[in-house]
Amino acid sequence: MKKKITKHEYQAMVEEKAPGSHILKDLLFAFITGGVICSVGQIVMLIFEGFGADMQTRASATSIVMIFLGAFLTGINVYDDIAKFGGAGASIPITGFSNSIVSPAMEYKKEGYVMGVGAKMFLIAGPVLVYGIFSSVVAGLVYFIWKQVM
């Protein structure tokens, strides 16, 4: 059979016809979800402030609590629903980081606690740690050199 349209034409056709995202709705939901999660973080922070914790302790303790909440909501099979609604509003906060670690841990338990849970836990979040830590090293080097020069 002779081809009536080229690959290039077809791809252009697909681009043109493809249904788009409901951007405004997506942005609103992301805003609300992200906002609510951060508000919860602020409340937790205020509670620790009430206990008289210093700035550093407060920040670390809040991270731990938020990560726990993300893990807990993942464990009771709720976090993916929140993300379905909130999109980036659920994946950008640290609760989403927690979800990206807990979900493969749960999923791959069937392949065992070592090669399943242990090996697959950082399947999605691994890159965040790799690039976060590596860029902190680069940042540290830049700062170190800057200090020597100045």
Q: What residues between 114 and 143 interact with another protein by CB under 8 A?
A: 117, 121, 123-125, 127-129, 131-133, 135-137, 139-143
| Closest separation in Å from C-beta 90 to another protein | 5
Where do we find the tokens 């965040």? 128
Q: Which of 51, 147, 149, 150 binds another protein (CB under 8 A)?
A: 147
Report the nearest approach of another protein to the CB of residue 54 (Å). 14
Contact 57, 115 (CB under 8 A): no
Q: Determine which residue in the list 50, 52, 54, 99 makes contact with another protein, applying CB under 8 A.
A: 99
* Residue span 71-90 as binding mask against another protein, x where in contact by CB under 8 A, dash where not: xx-xxxx-xxxxxx-xxxxx
Q: In angstroms, rounded to a whole number, what is the distance separating the alpha carbons of residues 76 and 102?
A: 11
Please say which residue, 133 or 149, places its beta carbon nearer to another protein. Answer: 133
- Shortest gap between Cβ of 69 and another protein (angstroms)? 9
Q: Does 12 bind another protein (CB under 8 A)?
A: no
CB-based contact 60:43 (threshold 8 Å):
no
Minimum CB distance to another protein, residue 52 (Å)? 17
Q: Which of 129, 131, 109, 134 is nearest to 119 (CA)?
A: 109
Cα 28 to its chain centre, rounded Å, is 18
Site for another protein in 16-75 (CB under 8 A): 17-21, 23, 26-27, 30-46, 59-64, 66-68, 71-72, 74-75
Tell me if 116 sits within 8 A of 110, measured CB to CB.
yes
Structure token pair of residue 116: 């399943």
**Contact in structure between 76 and 85 (CB atoms under 8 Å):** no
